[in-house]
Amino acid sequence: MAKKKKLKLAASWQYIGLGALAVVTAGVVGFAFMAPPSPPPAADSVASYQPPTVTKVEPQRVAVIGDSYSAGAGAGDPAMGWVGRLTRNQLWDVTNLARGGTGYSTSVTTNAQKACALDYCPSYPEMIAEAVKTNPTLILVAGGRNDALVPAADEAEAVRTFYETLRAEAPAAKIVAFNVLWDNRTPPESVPAMSAVVKESVESVGGIYLDAQQPLAKVEGLVGSDGVHPNAAGHAAIFEAKLGLLQQSEIAVR
């Protein structure tokens, strides 16, 4: 009799277990077929977000007027000259109009091919029209060593006239003039005298004068075998000196 009761009790628990399993299974199946919950509504700031407008910045258009130093003579590759280095450093759109052998007063007819690889090497005033054609926002003027033997009064007049004409032809451009560079020897007295006139003249037309001093004389080994032109290391020294001045004046970026 007790054995039958145990059997009935065991059967009852089996039915209860099967029933519970069925309920759990039904719940799992039902949950699986339930639609996924809807995502919460986006915040107004997210829903109305607009990506920022990308403004395309055009590179600064730069014209360079100068002599063989600015043309990159002695660097081995003109791209390694101080102007080429400055172009890459600042990502400027540069038109290099520098011509070897020239100056504020000096042009070259005889041996022009050797000086500037052209039949004629124009003086600085003769390059103004070419510079203006590029519609520059910035004009860099460097050099003057080829005018070292020009009489002081004549040179001063040439420098003043050059900057007055340049300003008249490029009224909106920023004009920057550098001092006259020499090699690693002591420069003649005419060089600092010319630099003083350049400073006075460019500032009189609203331009900027930057004095890089004489970087080729500060360390040995910066001038090539001809004793005149900077080598690649010399051009690097000129570049560093002029870049620093341009950055201090907020003309070049750091």
Q: Is residue 115 part of a domain?
A: yes
The predicted-structure confidence for 93-125, as pLDDT tens digits, reads as follows 999 999 999 999 999 999 999 999 999 999 999
Partners of 239 in the β-ladder: none
Q: Is residue 132 part of a domain?
A: yes
Q: Note whether 222 and 183 are within 8 A (CB).
A: no
Q: Which is nearest to 145 in space by CA: 114, 185, 110?
A: 185
Q: Is residue 1 part of a domain?
A: no
Q: Is residue 37 part of a domain?
A: no
CATH number at 204 reads: 3.40.50.1110
> What integer pLDDT is reported at residue 39 of this predicted model?
59
The predicted-structure confidence for 25-79, as pLDDT tens digits, reads as follows 444 334 444 555 565 665 665 556 677 765 566 789 999 999 999 999 999 999 9
What is the Cα–Cα distance from 156 to 160, expressed in whole angstroms? 6
> Which range marks the domain in which residue 92 is found?
61-248
> What integer pLDDT is reported at residue 28 of this predicted model?
39
Q: Among 8-17, 68-77, 167-176, 221-230, which is the least confidently predicted range?
A: 8-17
Q: Among 20-24, 80-84, 174-178, which is the least confidently predicted range?
A: 20-24
Burial of 238 (0-12, 13-18, 19+ CB in 10 A): buried
What is the Cα–Cα distance from 16 to 38, expressed in whole angstroms? 37
What is the Cα–Cα distance from 111 to 97, expressed in whole angstroms? 19
pTM (two decimals) = 0.79
Q: What average pLDDT does this structure show over 177-197?
A: 98
Domains in the chain, number: 1
Q: Note whether 142 and 69 are within 8 A (CB).
A: yes
CA distances from 153 to 198, 209, 221 (A): 13, 21, 35
